[in-house]
A and B are shown apart, each in its own frame.
Chain A
Amino acid sequence: DGGITQSPKYLFRKEGQNVTLSCEQNLNHDAMYWYRQDPGQGLRLIYYSQIVNDFQKGDIAEGYSVSREKKESFPLTVTSAQKNPTAFYLCASSPRDRGRPEAFFGQGTRLTVV
């Protein structure tokens, strides 16, 4: 089955630690995205990538970093510089086809600072 796999489902981070969230897709999509979701707020874009080895900052990139070394993978690192990292993180992908612009989402990673 084609889809987007995020891991882990739950992640706990200690103060001052960096943690990496995994996102893998087998849909052959060119574009991939990371969103953050907080209670009562819409999804906010952290980073996106339209092609391998290229990515752009979204609206709330501070304290986060990404890489896109393979088409299928777009990992997100939450660094110690992110002051309020507790949130639900969602990865998405889309085909970049102008006739089919819709994005499809993984099941999310819930990150908690302990």
Chain B
Amino acid sequence: EDQVTQSPEALRLQEGESSSLNCSYTVSGLRGLFWYRQDPGKGPEFLFTLYSAGEEKEKERLKATLTKKESFLHITAPKPEDSATYLCAVQAISPKLSFGAGTTVTVRA
């Protein structure tokens, strides 16, 4: 069974203080690893898809990387508007996505 573990559960940052979120996964035949951002009371917003080890994707202050066992979401010089819950998901042969519990990031001005 596919397993996804995200750490830490919560992360409090000062504005401008860079940090990283971790997503460890166990899956047979990874088809894709996905990062989403979710604001309170809203649906998840798609950020990135990573397909193979060594791949990197960037969007504004966010950068996602992938190894054979884990993915990192790096937040560089965060701003208060980056406060959200970040979700990681994996997809294997089956079309379903398996999600981690998320990391809630709070950025203080």
What number of B residues sit within 8 Å (CB to CB) of A?
23
Check A106 for interface membership: any CB of B closer than 8 A.
Answer: yes
Q: Mark B78-102, 1 if CB is under 8 A from A, else 0.
A: 0000000001010100011111111
Query: Which A residues are within 8 Å of any B CB, using their own CB?
Result: 4, 6, 31, 33, 35, 40-45, 48, 50, 58, 90, 92, 94, 96, 98, 101-108, 110
A102 with B101: CB separation less than 8 A:
no
| Stretch of B13-21, B42-50, B68-76 at the chain-chain interface | B42-50
List 10 contacting pairs A-B, 8 Å CB cutoff, sorted by A: A33-B96, A33-B97, A35-B99, A42-B101, A90-B43, A105-B36, A105-B43, A107-B42, A108-B41, A108-B42
Query: Which B residues are within 8 Å of any A CB, using their own CB?
Result: 4, 31-32, 34, 36, 41-46, 49, 87, 89, 91, 95-102
B46 with A102: CB separation less than 8 A:
yes
Tell me which residues across on chain A come within 8 A of B44, comparing CB atoms: 43, 90, 105
